[in-house]
Structure 1
Amino acid sequence: MSTQDQDHAGHSHGDVSERECADYLEQIVYFIDNELAEADCDAVRVHLDTCNPCLEKYDLQRTVKSVVARSCSEAAPEELRQRVMFRIREVQVRISDS
C-alpha cells in the first residue's frame, strides 16, 4: 500500500482526500436523522463502507445521539423545574427593570 492510499490517520481508503472526508463528516448528522436526499445517502453509505476513520466517527455520533435521546426522555424532578422557572422569572424581571 502506498502512502497515497492512506488518510491522515493511516487508514487505507482509496483516493479520498482529507477534505472529502470532512465533507462527508458534515453530512453524517443529517444522514443519521434521515434528512439527506437518497442520492446523498447512497454516497455517504459508499464512503462509510470504504473509510474506516469516517465509519468510526459515524458510529460515535450515532452512539452519542442515542445516549442523548435516552437522557432527554426523562422528566426533571418537580423541585428542579420550580427552581429553574424561578431563576428564569428572576432574570426576566431584571431585564425588564433595565
Structure 2
Amino acid sequence: MSEAAHGHDEMDECVAALTQVHAFLHGEMPDADADAIRHHLHACERCMENFEIEATINEMIKRAHRAVHPPETLVSRVMSLRIKRT
C-alpha cells in the first residue's frame, strides 16, 4: 500500500503501531495489544518494512552485547584466592 493510499485513520494506526514496536519486539505488552500490532503489521507493508528494520537492529544489538560467562573452573579459582594485605 502506498503512502498516498493510507487514509487518516490508517495513518493513526501506523503511528500507534510504530510507537509500540520496541515493546512488541521485547514481548513487553499484553497479548491483546500484541495481536493488534501483529494484525496491523501483516496488513500494512510500510509498517512491516519498518518493523523488519527495527527487528534487525534489535538482533544486531543483542548479538553485540551477549553476556559472557567465565568458565566455572575460573570462577572457582578466583573465589578461592585470598587477598592478603600487608
Question: Which bracket does the TM-score occupy, shorter chain normalised?
Answer: 0.5 to 0.7
| Offset, 1:59 | 0.6
> 2:36 aligned with 1:43, yes or no?
yes
Whole-angstrom CA distance in 1 between matches of 2:17 and 2:52: 14
- TM-score normalised by L of structure 1: 0.59
Residue 57 of structure 1, CA deviation: 0.6
Moved >2 Å (runs of 4+): 12-17
- TM-score w.r.t. the length of structure 2 is 0.66
> Which consecutive unaligned segments of at least 5 residues does structure 2 have?
69-86
Cα 1:57–1:29, aligned 2, differ >3 Å: closer, same or farther?
same
CA distance in 1, matches of 2:39, 2:52: 15
Aligned pairs for 1:64-83 (under 5 A) are 64-73=57-66
Summarize the Cα distance change of 1:64–1:57 in structure 2 as closer, same or farther, 3 Å threshold. same
Shift in Å, 1:18: 1.8
Q: Which AA in structure 2 matches 1:66?
A: E
Amino acid at match of 1:67: M
Q: Give 1:73 deviation, angstroms.
A: 2.1
Q: How much does 1:16 deviate? A: 4.6
Q: What is residue 17 of structure 1 aligned with on the other side? A: 10
Q: How many Å apart are 1:20 and its aligned residue?
A: 2.0
CA distance in 2, matches of 1:21, 1:31: 14
Return the alpha-carbon distance in structure 1 between the equivalents of residues 7 and 38 of structure 2.
15
Percent of residue pairs identical: 29
Q: CA RMSD in A?
A: 2.3
State how far apart, in whole Å, the 2-side matches of 1:13 and 1:49 are: 15
